[in-house]
Structure 1
Amino acid sequence: MSRGYTTADALMEALLEGGVSYIFANLGSDHTAIIESWARTRANNASAPKVVISPHEMVALSAAHGYAQVTGRPQAVLVHVDCGTQNLGGAVHNAAKGRIPVLILAGAAPYTQEGERRGTRNEHIHWLQDVFDQRGIVREYMKYNNEIRTGKNVKQLVLRALQIAKSEPKGPVYLLAPREVLEEETVRADVEPQYWDPIAPSALSPEQVTEIGQHLVQAKRPLIVTSYLGRNVEAVAELVKLSERLAIPVLESVPNYVNFPANHVMHVGYLWNSPSAHPMLIEADFILVMDSDIPWIPLYNRPRTNCTVYCIDIDPLKEKTPLWYIPALRYYRVDSLVALRQLNAYLESVPVDAEMVSARFKYVSDIHSRQRREWKLHEKPADNSAISPEFLTACIREVIDDETIVLTETITNYEVVSKHLPRNKPGTLFASGASSLGWSGGAAIGVKLAVPEATVVSLTGDGSYLFSNPTTVYWMARKYCTPFLTVIYNNGGWRAPQLSTLSIHSRGYASRTPNFWSVLTPPADLAKVAEAAGGAYAHTVQSPSELLDVLTTGLQWVRRGRSAVIDVRIQPSVNLAE
């Protein structure tokens, strides 16, 4: 029997009108009206967002995450009641901490049981999936959450949710709707999406521009620290302009993006977890922190006591982080691109000590060159039988080009990848910006959907690879023609718990035994999982001599439309043997 226009129809129209191109969907019994709406749309050749079937919700949200990182446009993730919401798992954390705009849509158990409404309970699971506070499962991580109660204002709710998701600081939003509401016939409502644009970027006041500008001009050892300024690719060029004008070195702390070209002579390296102080941080007399959640780890690195610190950020107080503070005299909640344009315009009109700037340029350039020479020394394999993470990363650098988009989830090898796989073009490096493992597989699918012509390379640890639900990932990659190269930094287990234990108990019992309860032995044939699930080219590498050829072959397969997974058995610095 033909139905009239329903809430589900209005919901799908709202997504399309709100700029959603893809719905990453994992369906359940609560989505009957949505499935009917899709079928009717197809039968009538009407426009609608494309549905991407995602057999695991973690992968669905990670794909939407990757798509939004590249484009800035939020996509939709459709999940099944409380179970599907929980199965989003750590991807919810990643989207929230990474400030990624995405709209999560969930069904809810029917709220009638005796036929009072269309969609009433007719399966036993409808009682099992009825919970008191489904939204509470993800509330702490959402910028906004609400329940769709009628089709009469569903478009307004969807557009409001997208507006909030896209407004800085960006983040995920969550809407749910019971089955009866989605099945409900309603009237078509026309809304104007332009009334739901995100808030405009904020700027510094003229007085603030002058104050910051004068500190930059007068400082003898200024320093800029950043982590995710490169989320806006236009901001990178403005940061380069500022750095070059005053010869200000740039230090990247836990970078999630290309924030500053790695080959630029003003780039002075990275901060990760290394328990050693960075000399540029120690000697700075003025530090401008721009878009950074962790500009340094105080236990290992901190500015000197008489250093002046200012903070520019879309989220300067990190209000979602219970314990967070840095010794900053000023905090500015502003858009980094706007602020940099303001500062560069101001600096064009003020006198600068050219001699001091010239001397500082040479000083910083020498540091940059010396760093790179020292890093290069670590790239040669220690012997002919073992592959070091540095050697592996150098080989990857050799086979890719500047246009390749690299996703990194190498965890204990994050710093190695930063140093030995320098990225110079904005928009060619992405990390999750958070800490729940398994992001990179789904994210690669989202990136490839967003930029179909790009070559995408995903770098992951063996633990992260297993967390990524590889069966789902490579099945989706084949079905939706999103091939990418995965390189597994396989050190035989989770090194992070071992390194963390040794950092606290360096001479304890754990230091005298190889058993850290984080070893993945016997080793699984990880690459073959992708071959079985998605027809991927699969190869395991243990010899340095064959590594370059296998990486080259893997990329050839990817460029011909087939994913490739290369499992590289590396020699870790900590013994992982049981």
Structure 2
Amino acid sequence: MGSDATISQTSQTAPTGYTTSRAFLEALAEGGVRYVFSNLGSDHPGILEAYAQARVEGREHTLPELVICPHESVAMAAALGYAQVSGVPQAVLVHVECGTQNIGGMLHNAAKGRVGVLMYAGASPYTQNGELFGSRNEFIQWIQDVHDQRGIVRGYTKYDNEIRTGANVKELVHRALQFARSTPAGPVYLVGPREVMEAEAPTQQADATYFPPVAPAALAPDVVERVASALAEAERPVIVTSYLGRDRDAVPVLVELCETAGIGVLESVPMHVNFPADHPLHWGFQWNDQRHNPLLEEADVVLVLGSDVPWIPTKNRPNADARVFVVDEDPLKEQMPLWHVPAEVFARADLGTAVRQLRDRVAELVDTEAAARRRERAAAEHERLFRAKAELEVPEGETITPEYLVACVREAIDEDTLVLTEAITNFPTVSWHLRRNKPGSLLGSGGGSLGWAIGAAVGAKLAAPERTVVSLVGDGTYLFGVPSSAFWMAQRYGAPSLTIVFDNNGWNAPKASALGVHPQGTAAQRDDFGVHFQTRPDLPGIATAAGGAWGRTVKTAGELKESLEEALDVVRSGRSAVLAVQVPGM
């Protein structure tokens, strides 16, 4: 017989009333979380029991819906897609430190893309002899006990904490969601040991009403005056933005500001519709352009209005005499160790609030005749730029060029279609040739970890079931997205979308990077980059096998438009579709 310290777990009594797990799930629902995207494990019995009891008692509506995700990365991507469309953070539930590590790439995207999401993971039980209900009873719980589980994510999260008691679990959840929603939005992380999550908890706890996001910050009056005066008096002003369009209501205000003063807009690495592409003041898109940009080099005033990478200093920066101003919700890029833009003003403000302030003051200061001359010049630049791009929108015989593919997609969809872009080396092609105009009709991950789009499409469709969702991805990106998991989820939860794959038979991005550094190197001379697939995988076949999706591979220009229309019809009827389009190889 063992000592008192080795009490048999079977002698412990299971909770019969209100548990920490139930309070946790209720707090999520009270905070606006509709879905818990979950990959379950040995740390979640209390969660599963809370859901089962809610179904028996007819109060499922008090808890978020549990969405089963066969891979953690897809769970996280789906949560991001939902939040990016709705503006409301969702929850991701994973298994201790192993599951936490499996969300790593999408966690990076949440942090860099400033998308709110609440991640929850259990922790290995902290008793091993049955001292408390929920004590260790599986070998894996010793192996998964690590020194600092929260440290795995701390370089990316805005907030992390451990649930130590059911007495204040709702306060912790509401505080975490407050961080996730407050500008700049981002991911938060909670952990809960099994003993705590299984324990009884008080029913009266914190109210979500008293945890609103932080109110938007405005520019100081002297900053408004300084920036507005510079814009109003400039000869060749330009605004550079990357993510102002996260606030869809800010886009038409930016249009008003630019029309008032005759300011051209350059989108740098855009993941949103920041300015209507067909507007005559739109000056195009800038990605990893390895060439000079005369519109930047000739500018005398540059306003960086929400951008992490407004230009690449070694290639296309403004001239040294230009006056540069930075207005951003994170003007110093506090999580980027190496970052600097030589500017005379760095101002922290909500972008929508700031652009409204600048619009109103510029309207009071601007010379209308000078502004008209600037508008005329800017419109001529717009016409020149986009006319040159339009000339590329033709196939080369039966060969489907990326430009022709995107032009066909543009013609096939309407302005309400939601497009997710993760085409990587074809990012610029999508921007230039898709030419989205409606705020909220284009989304990117905001980060650099691949495999976001097809999982995000599931979350996006759940957030906006009335919209058609189309993802434009590379073949490598498609495989990174764990399509076997994503399309199974899409079928199970009624979230169909169309995935269009730029199939160039390999990973072009590493090759492009190598050529950027070693254009005449041995790898270039021998075309030896280790990134070709050699034998093309059956990309649509994966989705068909895993989730019953419609699939087709298109090889010639003559069959593209008909196949595209058929695929869209399939999706609108309620079934996912994958169209792999073979474009010129690498």
Task: Tell me, yes or no, whether TM beats 0.5.
Answer: yes
Deviations 1:155-192 (A, max 9, x none): 00000000011111111000000100101112112322
Aligned with residue 234 of structure 1, among 237, 241, 249: 249
Aligned with residue 495 of structure 1, among 508, 514, 527: 508
2: CA distance, partners of 1:118 / 1:286? 66
2:384 aligns with: 370
Deviations 1:463-500 (A, max 9, x none): 00000000000000000100000000011111111111
Aligned with residue 531 of structure 1, among 528, 541, 544: 544
2:121 aligns with: 106
1: CA distance, partners of 2:262 / 2:576? 43
SS of the aligned residue for 1:524 comes to coil
1:151 aligns with: 166
1:264 aligns with 2:279: yes
1: CA distance, partners of 2:292 / 2:20? 58
Aligned with residue 188 of structure 1, among 203, 227, 232: 203
1: CA distance, partners of 2:244 / 2:480? 28
Deviations 1:423-442 (A, max 9, x none): 00000000001100000011
SS of the aligned residue for 2:355 comes to helix
Deviation at 1:2, TM superposition (A): 6.7
2: CA distance, partners of 1:2 / 1:201? 43
1:442 aligns with: 455
1:395 aligns with 2:405: no
1: CA distance, partners of 2:575 / 2:465? 13
2: CA distance, partners of 1:192 / 1:25? 25
Matches within 5 A, 1:112-131: 112-131=127-146
1:428 aligns with: 441
Residue 15 of structure 2 contacts residue 199 of structure 2 at CA under 8 Å; is this kept in 1?
no
Deviations 1:203-222 (A, max 9, x none): 01222111111111111111
Matches within 5 A, 1:543-558: 543-558=556-571
1: CA distance, partners of 2:451 / 2:547? 18
1:357 aligns with: 371
2: CA distance, partners of 1:30 / 1:440? 29
2:361 aligns with: 346
Instruction: Using structure 2 for the length normalisation, give the TM-score.
Output: 0.96
Residue 38 of structure 2 contacts residue 93 of structure 2 at CA under 8 Å; is this kept in 1?
yes
SS of the aligned residue for 2:155 comes to helix
Matches within 5 A, 1:377-392: 377-384=391-398, 386-392=399-405
Aligned with residue 58 of structure 1, among 42, 58, 73: 73
2: CA distance, partners of 1:504 / 1:336? 36
| Structure 1 outlier segments of 4+, above 6 Å | none
1:22 aligns with 2:35: yes
- Structure 2 residue identity aligned to 1:379: E
Deviations 1:247-276 (A, max 9, x none): 100000000100000000000101111211
Cα RMSD for the two superposed structures: 0.9
Matches within 5 A, 1:309-320: 309-320=324-335
2: CA distance, partners of 1:318 / 1:176? 28
1:297 aligns with 2:312: yes
Residue 210 of structure 1 contacts residue 346 of structure 1 at CA under 8 Å; is this kept in 2?
yes
Matches within 5 A, 1:134-173: 134-173=149-188
Residue 168 of structure 2 contacts residue 205 of structure 2 at CA under 8 Å; is this kept in 1?
no
SS of the aligned residue for 2:364 comes to coil
1: CA distance, partners of 2:561 / 2:38? 38
Aligned residues: 571
Deviation at 1:347, TM superposition (A): 2.7
Residue 15 of structure 2 contacts residue 198 of structure 2 at CA under 8 Å; is this kept in 1?
no
**Unmatched segments (≥5 aa) in structure 2:** 1-13
Deviations 1:229-260 (A, max 9, x none): 00000010110000000110000000010000
1: CA distance, partners of 2:322 / 2:141? 61
Deviations 1:85-138 (A, max 9, x none): 011120111111111100000001111111100000111111111111111111
SS of the aligned residue for 1:29 comes to coil
Residue 155 of structure 1 contacts residue 189 of structure 1 at CA under 8 Å; is this kept in 2?
no
2: CA distance, partners of 1:160 / 1:30? 23
1:219 aligns with 2:234: yes
- Structure 2 residue identity aligned to 1:72: G
- Structure 1 residue identity aligned to 2:145: D
- Structure 1 residue identity aligned to 2:391: L
Residue 326 of structure 2 contacts residue 343 of structure 2 at CA under 8 Å; is this kept in 1?
yes
Residue 246 of structure 1 contacts residue 357 of structure 1 at CA under 8 Å; is this kept in 2?
yes
Deviation at 1:395, TM superposition (A): 0.9
1:94 aligns with 2:105: no
Residue 171 of structure 2 contacts residue 205 of structure 2 at CA under 8 Å; is this kept in 1?
no
- Percent of pairs with identical residues: 53
Aligned with residue 581 of structure 2, among 537, 561, 568: 568
Residue 27 of structure 1 contacts residue 78 of structure 1 at CA under 8 Å; is this kept in 2?
yes
Instruction: Using structure 1 for the length normalisation, give the TM-score.
Output: 0.98
Residue 261 of structure 2 contacts residue 363 of structure 2 at CA under 8 Å; is this kept in 1?
no
SS of the aligned residue for 1:483 comes to coil
1: CA distance, partners of 2:363 / 2:101? 53
SS of the aligned residue for 2:115 comes to coil
**Unmatched segments (≥5 aa) in structure 1:** none
1: CA distance, partners of 2:363 / 2:258? 13
Aligned with residue 419 of structure 1, among 423, 432, 439: 432
2:497 aligns with: 484
- Structure 2 residue identity aligned to 1:193: A
1: CA distance, partners of 2:362 / 2:536? 57
1: CA distance, partners of 2:123 / 2:513? 41
1: CA distance, partners of 2:80 / 2:438? 21
Residue 394 of structure 1 contacts residue 421 of structure 1 at CA under 8 Å; is this kept in 2?
yes
